């Protein structure tokens, strides 16, 4: 199947009429908006990719550095309030996707430029306000709710735009754009740690706030949709695009995303504490998340490129399935430093492949004409998995005395493998059981 086949829009038929200069002009304008939309696969598209990279670098750089602040808060500022503090990060990342069901409505009302400008203001204000906080509820409202809500205005334009500008090289483009989140996690967490150690946590928050202002500002200038909202915004007059569920492949993909996210983030959050439970060198626990973020970033580029050449549906299934297998085969048996590192690298690679490839198949499932509402609904599923997946794993682990991380690994592995089976089903609906590039 031609990768562009399902991404072209139908030219709307015109009715016969008596020609006039005014009606000819109106018809010309309408035809420009409803003509076939074909991704240019380059040119300005690479600026879109760079702008998206900057936006994702900013919001996920802060998100992945939350662990640095959490540890410092618990040890030095809000001692003994870990149960309250731990919810801030979960609420924040869950709110990244809160606009999902009404994404197309927000895009119609604001456009990418003003969405990103709103995100610039809200994310910056959130961290600056947090730097003046004196109570945990101040942090909940600023670092949790306000930053998460602001990041939602950044996430959807930065994840939606590169899909529209590329077809043949979509995997590579999405991998490059989404590598910003992994690289951001590696860079910002180290900046935060250095700033906290030298000038205090309040200035660390302000520095990250300034970084967000600059980086999301760059995204605001560069990131634009391909064509008009009439060409990519789905059906007009609908608040939530329920009609997409009439497409069986979209429904399968929705379930795939919903289930997989319940297990995906668990290793990132729990592996450092597992290393501590094994009495490994404290350096290992401190740097595991950073190393996984770095591997994850590189994997997104490599697997995106792989998807362009081996087939995106094939690659999505393989990466998701192998990420789950790594939990069940390697993490479950991790009892020493070597095994922990092997798992961190392998899971970081295949997990990065899942993240990079999930958006690359979306235009082939729904077409570019429905990409805005589809992206919104598909990523809204992340809210539930990211908010509840790791707490469920933690509850399972802590049912045992001492805590047994093997059962957390089993939970994560089962969730990701079951999600992979739906990715496999999606691949079969696309091309059957034939061994072809799809």
For residue 195, give Cα distances in angstroms to 175, 233, 403: 30, 43, 33
Confidence of residue 13 (pLDDT cuts 50, 70, 90): very low
Query: What tokens were used for 30?
Result: 């309408």
State residue 20's pLDDT score.
Answer: 43
Structure-model confidence comparison of residues 3 and 138, the more confident one: 138
Counted residue by residue, the chain has a size of: 438
Residue 114: pLDDT over 90 = yes
Residue 33: pLDDT over 80 = no
Residue 387: pLDDT over 90 = no
CA 385 to chain centre: 12
State residue 32's pLDDT score.
Answer: 44
**φ and ψ at residue 284, rounded to 5 degrees:** -65, -50
Number of Cα atoms under 13 Å in the Cβ half of residue 206: 8
pLDDT tens-digit map of 342-378: 999 999 899 988 988 998 898 889 888 888 888 889 9
Query: What tokens were used for 417?
Result: 């493998």
State residue 436's pLDDT score.
Answer: 84
pLDDT average, residue stretch 181-199: 88
Q: Which of 146-160, 213-227, 237-251, 406-420 has the lowest mean pLDDT?
A: 237-251
Residue 45: pLDDT over 50 = yes
What is the percentage of the chain residues whose pLDDT exceeds 90?
Answer: 41
Q: Which of 55-69, 135-149, 226-240, 423-437 has the lowest mean pLDDT?
A: 226-240
pLDDT average, residue stretch 223-227: 89
**φ and ψ at residue 266, rounded to 5 degrees:** -55, -50
Residues 6+ away with beta carbon under 8 Å from 432: none
State residue 66's pLDDT score.
Answer: 82
CA separation for the pair 358, 352 (Å, rounded)? 10
CA separation for the pair 84, 78 (Å, rounded)? 10
State residue 15's pLDDT score.
Answer: 40
Per-residue b or e along 357-381, where b marks 16 or more CB atoms closer than 10 Å to that residue's CB: bbbbbbbbbbbbbbbbbbbbbbbbb
pLDDT tens-digit map of 404-435: 999 999 999 999 999 999 999 999 998 888 88
Confidence of residue 286 (pLDDT cuts 50, 70, 90): low
Confidence of residue 36 (pLDDT cuts 50, 70, 90): low
Structure-model confidence comparison of residues 268 and 33, the more confident one: 268
**38 close to 123: Cβ distance less than 8 angstroms:** no
Structure-model confidence comparison of residues 197 and 75, the more confident one: 197
- Cis amide leading into 274 (omega within 30): no
pLDDT average, residue stretch 313-341: 94
Number of Cα atoms under 13 Å in the Cβ half of residue 31: 9
Q: What is the pTM of this model?
A: 0.82
State residue 41's pLDDT score.
Answer: 83
What is the percentage of the chain residues whose pLDDT exceeds 70?
Answer: 91
SS3 13: coil
State residue 21's pLDDT score.
Answer: 45
Q: At what angle do helices 371-397 and 405-431 cross, to 10 degrees?
A: 150
pLDDT tens-digit map of 84-98: 787 888 788 888 888
Structure-model confidence comparison of residues 16 and 62, the more confident one: 62
pLDDT average, residue stretch 387-404: 86
State residue 87's pLDDT score.
Answer: 80
Residue for token pair 């946590």:
201
Residue 8: pLDDT over 50 = no
Of 17-21, 126-130, 171-175, where does the model show the most confidence? 126-130
State residue 27's pLDDT score.
Answer: 36
CA separation for the pair 83, 68 (Å, rounded)? 16
């Amino acid at each position: 199947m031609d990768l562009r086949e399902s991404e072209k829009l139908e030219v709307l038929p015109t009715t016969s009429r008596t020609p006039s200069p005014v009606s000819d002009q109106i018809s010309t304008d309408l035809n420009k908006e409803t003509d076939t939309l074909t991704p240019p696969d380059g040119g300005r598209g690479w600026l879109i990719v760079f702008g998206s990279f900057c936006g994702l670098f900013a919001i996920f750089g802060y998100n992945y550095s939350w662990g640095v602040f959490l540890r410092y808060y618990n040890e030095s500022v809000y001692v003994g309030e870990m149960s309250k503090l731990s919810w801030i990060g979960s609420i924040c990342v869950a709110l990244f996707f809160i606009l999902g069901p009404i994404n197309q409505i927000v895009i119609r009302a604001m456009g990418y430029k003003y969405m990103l400008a709103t995100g610039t203001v809200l994310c910056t204000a959130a961290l600056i306000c947090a730097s003046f906080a004196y109570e945990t509820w101040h942090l909940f409202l600023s670092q949790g709710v306000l930053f998460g809500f602001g990041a939602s205005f950044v996430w959807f334009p930065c994840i939606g735009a590169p899909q529209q500008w590329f077809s043949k090289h979509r995997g590579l483009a999405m991998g490059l754009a989404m590598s910003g989140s992994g690289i951001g996690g590696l860079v910002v967490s180290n900046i935060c740690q250095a700033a906290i150690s030298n000038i205090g946590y309040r200035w660390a928050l302000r520095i990250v706030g300034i970084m967000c202002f600059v980086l999301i500002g760059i995204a605001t200038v560069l990131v634009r949709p391909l064509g008009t909202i009439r060409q990519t915004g789905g059906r007009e007059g609908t608040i939530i695009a329920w009609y997409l569920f009439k497409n069986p492949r979209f429904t399968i993909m929705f379930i795939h995303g919903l289930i997989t996210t319940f297990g995906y983030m668990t290793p990132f959050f729990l592996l450092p504490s597992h290393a501590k439970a094994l009495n490994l060198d404290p350096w290992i626990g401190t740097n595991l998340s950073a190393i996984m973020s770095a591997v994850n970033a590189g994997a997104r580029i490599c697997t995106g490129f792989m998807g362009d050449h081996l087939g995106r549906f094939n690659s999505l299934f393989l990466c998701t399935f192998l990420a789950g297998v790594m939990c069940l085969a390697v993490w479950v048996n991790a009892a020493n430093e070597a095994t922990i590192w092997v798992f961190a690298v392998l899971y970081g690679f295949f997990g990065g492949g899942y993240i990079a490839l999930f958006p690359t198949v979306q235009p082939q499932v729904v077409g570019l004409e429905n990409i805005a509402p589809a992206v919104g609904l598909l990523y809204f599923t992340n809210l539930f998995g990211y908010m509840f997946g790791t707490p469920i794993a933690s509850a399972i682990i802590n049912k045992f005395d001492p805590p047994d991380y093997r059962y957390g690994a089993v939970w994560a592995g089962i969730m990701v493998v079951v999600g992979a089976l739906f990715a496999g089903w999606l691949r079969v609906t696309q091309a059957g059981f034939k061994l072809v590039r799809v």
